[in-house]
Amino acid sequence: MMPGHLSKSVDKAECKVCGKPIAGNTPSYYITGFGTVCMPCSSKHVKCDGCGSDVRLMTITVLRGRKLCLLCYKNERERGEKRIVKEVIASNLDVLIEEILANMPEGFKFVGVRLKPSSKNTWQVEYEREDIFEMRCS
C-alpha cells in the first residue's frame, strides 16, 4: 500500500463512503474529486468507469463525476487537446510512415499528413482525438 494520498490534517472529516467521522489524528485517504475516506473504505473495490476494471478506491481519481483508475485518469488528462500536429523530418515515405507509427500519441488517431510549405523533407502530421474521430466517422 502506497501512502501517497495519506493525509492527517483533516479536521472533523467524514468518510464519504461509510459516513463515519474521521478524527484529526486518524490516517485517512483523500481522493481527488471525491473526498476523504477512512482507511477500511479506501481499500474497498470499485469499478473504474473508464475501463471497467476492479480497482481499489484509494487508487482512483474522480473526474467530472466518473471514477477512473490511474491509467484511465492519465488518458483523460492527456485528452485535453482535440488535434495535434507534429513535425516529422523524413527523406522518403517509408521513413515517414515508420516515424508516424512509432510516435502515435496515446488516445489519438492519425488523420493526415502534408508536406510543410517550402520544405522538401519536413512533414506536418496531424492527429485527432480518438473520441472526436469516432464521432465524426460513425
Residue 31 binds Zn ion (CB under 5 A): no
Q: Which of residues 45 and 120 has its CB atom nearest to Zn ion in the complex?
A: 45
Which one among 14, 26, 35, 50 touches Zn ion, defined by CB under 5 A?
50
| Residue matched to cell numbers 488518458 | 75
CA distance 43 to 32: 15
Per rule CB under 5 A, is residue 125 in the interface with Zn ion?
no
17 binds Zn ion (CB under 5 A): yes
Q: For residues 54-113, which are near Zn ion according to CB under 5 A?
A: 69, 72
Closest distance to Zn ion from the beta carbon of 58 (Å): 11
Of 13, 53, 50, nearest in space to 31 by CA: 13
Shortest Å, Cβ 133 to Zn ion: 20
- Quote the CA–CA distance of 106 and 75 in Å, as a whole number: 7
**8 A C-beta contact, residue 69 and residue 60:** yes
Quick one: how far is CA 137 from the chain centroid?
A: 23
Q: List residues binding Zn ion (CB under 5 A).
A: 15, 17-18, 38, 41, 48, 50-51, 69, 72
